[in-house]
Structures are given as structure tokens and as C-alpha cells.
């Protein structure tokens, strides 16, 4: 078997590069990764194929000069008009440096799994902390409210009840806030239902609340029914949608897009699912500030001034009850929250 035939059958993306950085060969895995046919890539310069190809070309040059293998971990490669990706890149000179073999191992899936695991770990820790703190606060609040009610009955002057009423109202408000921080207090009542019914109810509510918002539906009608709690799922989707809607208040030509798709071989909490349903909620707002992205699902962290930061925490809790997960990608003009539910 020739070396080209061997490279063609490898599952790793392989490019063979000439001295002047033109592509001489690309195997099928490279075609799949770079979204280009080997025929179209042949003769192209790395810089033509990859926007930031200068960085990769420099590694190729260094490998040829020193006649040694170079490896660049977690290198982001930017493709023209296509999805970008992160890869481990290994560059090996061959034929006395006249050619170079570039091996691309995509890392996005592994990075996502690591990130999702970290988010879930932080969520579990935060959840326990919030639960403990909320219960510790609710106990004295109950005592304060009860004492205020007894005091109101014993007051000789009824005009003084204005002050006890304030105490009672504020303790009720704080108790309600703590209940919201704790999330849903009932187990999911699951039944077979189309996810599109939930999305249509959400879209209708959003359209009623914001007349100038353009709502776009992009559904996959082949998606079968999911075993979910329709009311809790509606609340989760609505929390995400309302969060986006409020951000869009200052955006010219605001738009919110609901998309449903099937994904395969998706890992959630370390468990691989053969088939999952993905619900994407995309807005064209200003995006999420980088400094809050890692803490976005924590309580009291909000995308907007004055927000409670509980909507996404609540949504995450509901999705967790359905053995799913929620994640996001954001840049100015394009923020997508994805709800992933196993199809089982």
C-alpha cells in the first residue's frame, strides 16, 4: 500500500504541504474537517484556505528549517465562510524538509465536554450552597414575619400597623426571592409532547409582550415527541427567550429565532446519547460580556442592569430534571442558547 493510500485511510485530518506552503494532498478526514474537497484544496496556499494561516505557515516553516516535529495545542483555525474550529496541530517535515505533513486533531468536542463538566460541577456546588443559605435565611424570616403579625394585633394605635405591614411585605418579598433561587419545588410531571408545541406557546407569549420583535421559526418537523414536563419546559424556554427579549430592547430590528435540530453522539454529564434534540434560541443583540460568561448560570448574575440573574439558573435546573443541559455561544450580533434534551 502506498503512503498516500495509508494517509487516505487515516481517521485523523492530514494535509501534505509543499515548501512554498501549497497543499499537495488532503485525506478524506481533512475534507470533512475543512469542508472542502481535496481537488479544490490542491494547489491552494494555506493562507488562502485558512484566514489565520500565517501562524500555521510559520510553524510549517520552522519544522522544515530545524527538521523536527512541532506541536501546537488548542490552535484556533479560522475558515472563510465556514465554522471555525480548535485543533491540536502536529507538523512533521518529510523528504528532507521538501514536504511537511500537517496533522489536525479537532478539539472542539472535547473542549465542550470539559466546559460542560465544569459548568455542571459549579452548578452542583452552587446549588448546594444556595439551598443551605436560603434555608438558613428563611427560618429567621419566618420568625420575623410571625412576630410582626403578633405585634400588629397588640398595637394600641391601628395607624402604627403601617410599619408592621412593611415588615410583613418585605419578609414575604425576600421569602419569594429565596424560593425562586431554589428553583422548581416539584418533580417534573413528564408526558409525550412535541417540543414545537412548547416553542409555539413561547413564541406567542413573546410576540404579545414585544410588538416590534421579529420571531423566526426554523423547525425540523421530523423530530418525534419528547418525554418532558410541558409546563416546566415552557418556563425554561420562556426564561431564556424573555432574557433575550429584554436585551433586544435597545437593538435596532430585533430578531429572535427558534431552531430545532437532531444531534447524534452527544455527551451530557459524561454519558453519551445516541440522539438528542437541540433547541437553539438565537438573538441578534449585543452579546454577552466576556467577564460574565463563565458565571452566567450562577444566581444573581445577569446580562442586563437591574436583572435578578435567576432566570437562567431556574432554566438550568429544569433542564437538569430532564437529564439535559443548556449551553451558549455569544458574540456581538449573534447569541445562541442551546437546550439539549436526550431523545429516549
For residue 282, name the pLDDT band (cuts at 50, 70, 90).
Answer: very high
Taking only the tens place, the pLDDT of each residue in 61-76 is 888 888 889 888 888 8
Rg (C-alpha) for the chain, rounded Å, is 27
pLDDT greater than 70 at residue 147: yes
For 3-106, CATH gives 3.30.450.20
Per-residue pLDDT averaged across 139-145, rounded? Answer: 86
For residue 115, name the pLDDT band (cuts at 50, 70, 90).
Answer: low
How does DSSP assign 303-327, residue by residue? Answer: SSTT--S-HHHHHHHHHHHTT-EEE
Residue 2 is predicted with a pLDDT of 54
Residue 281 is predicted with a pLDDT of 96
Q: How far apart are CA 341 and CA 220, in angstroms?
A: 15
Per-residue pLDDT averaged across 299-304, rounded? Answer: 55
Nearest to 85 by CA among 57, 106, 116: 106
- Residue with grid cell 463538566, as numbered in its chain: 117
Taking only the tens place, the pLDDT of each residue in 174-193 is 887 777 666 666 677 889 99
Cell of 180: 425562586
Nearest to 342 by CA among 240, 272, 238: 272
pLDDT greater than 60 at residue 286: yes
Mean pLDDT of the chain: 82
Residue 1 is predicted with a pLDDT of 42
For residue 215, name the pLDDT band (cuts at 50, 70, 90).
Answer: very high
Residue 127 is predicted with a pLDDT of 66
Domain boundaries, the chain: 3-106, 110-182, 191-342
| Close Cβ partners of 239 (under 8 Å, ≥ 6 residues apart) | 311, 312, 314, 315
For residue 340, name the pLDDT band (cuts at 50, 70, 90).
Answer: very high
For residue 279, name the pLDDT band (cuts at 50, 70, 90).
Answer: very high
For 191-342, CATH gives 3.30.565.10
User: What is the bridge-based pairing of β-strands 99-106 and 191-193?
Assistant: unpaired
Residue 314 is predicted with a pLDDT of 80
Residue 283 is predicted with a pLDDT of 94
User: What is the bridge-based pairing of β-strands 85-94 and 99-106?
Assistant: antiparallel
Taking only the tens place, the pLDDT of each residue in 218-258 is 999 999 999 999 988 998 999 899 989 988 988 899 999 99
- Residue with grid cell 427558534, as numbered in its chain: 258
Q: How many other CB atoms are there within 10 angstroms of residue 16's CB atom?
A: 20
**Between residues 313 and 150, which one has the greater pLDDT?**
150
Cell of 122: 459549579
Predicted TM-score of the model (pTM): 0.60
Residue 199 is predicted with a pLDDT of 96
| Close Cβ partners of 107 (under 8 Å, ≥ 6 residues apart) | 74, 86, 87, 88
- Residue with grid cell 469542508, as numbered in its chain: 35
Amino acid at each position: 500500500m502506498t503512503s498516500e493510500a495509508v494517509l487516505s485511510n487515516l481517521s485523523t485530518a492530514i494535509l501534505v504541504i509543499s515548501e512554498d506552503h501549497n497543499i499537495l494532498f488532503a485525506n478524506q478526514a481533512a475534507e470533512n474537517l475543512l469542508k472542502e474537497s481535496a481537488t479544490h484544496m490542491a494547489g491552494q496556499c494555506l493562507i488562502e484556505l485558512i484566514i489565520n494561516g500565517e501562524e500555521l505557515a510559520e510553524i510549517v516553516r520552522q519544522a522544515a528549517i530545524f527538521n523536527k516535529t512541532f506541536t501546537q495545542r488548542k490552535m484556533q483555525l479560522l475558515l472563510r465562510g465556514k465554522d471555525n474550529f480548535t485543533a491540536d496541530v502536529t507538523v512533521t517535515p518529510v523528504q528532507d524538509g521538501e514536504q511537511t505533513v500537517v496533522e489536525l486533531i479537532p478539539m472542539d468536542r472535547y473542549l465542550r465536554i470539559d466546559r460542560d463538566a465544569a459548568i455542571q460541577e459549579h452548578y452542583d456546588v452552587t446549588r448546594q450552597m444556595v439551598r443551605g443559605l436560603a434555608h438558613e435565611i428563611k427560618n429567621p424570616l419566618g420568625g420575623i414575619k410571625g412576630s410582626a403579625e403578633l405585634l400588629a394585633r397588640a398595637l394600641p394605635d391601628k395607624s402604627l400597623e403601617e410599619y408592621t405591614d412593611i415588615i410583613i411585605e418585605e419578609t414575604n418579598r425576600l421569602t419569594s426571592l429565596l424560593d425562586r433561587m431554589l428553583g422548581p419545588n416539584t418533580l417534573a410531571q413528564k408526558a409525550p409532547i412535541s417540543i414545537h408545541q412548547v416553542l409555539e406557546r413561547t413564541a406567542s407569549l413573546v410576540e404579545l409582550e414585544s410588538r416590534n420583535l421579529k420571531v423566526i421559526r426554523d423547525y425540523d418537523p421530523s423530530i418525534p415527541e419528547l418525554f418532558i414536563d410541558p409546563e416546566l419546559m415552557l418556563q425554561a424556554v420562556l426564561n431564556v427567550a424573555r432574557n433575550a427579549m429584554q436585551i433586544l430592547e435597545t437593538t435596532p430590528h430585533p430578531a429572535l429565532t427558534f431552531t430545532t435540530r437532531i444531534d447524534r453522539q452527544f455527551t451530557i454529564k459524561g454519558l453519551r446519547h445516541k440522539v438528542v434534540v437541540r433547541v437553539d434560541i438565537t438573538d441578534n443583540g449585543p452579546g454577552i460580556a466576556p467577564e460574565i460568561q463563565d458565571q452566567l448560570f450562577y444566581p444573581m448574575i445577569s446580562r442586563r442592569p437591574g436583572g435578578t440573574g435567576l432566570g437562567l439558573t431556574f432554566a438550568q435546573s429544569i433542564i437538569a430534571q430532564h437529564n439535559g443541559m443548556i449551553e451558549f455561544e455569544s458574540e456581538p450580533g449573534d447569541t445562541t442558547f442551546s437546550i439539549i434534551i436526550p431523545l429516549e
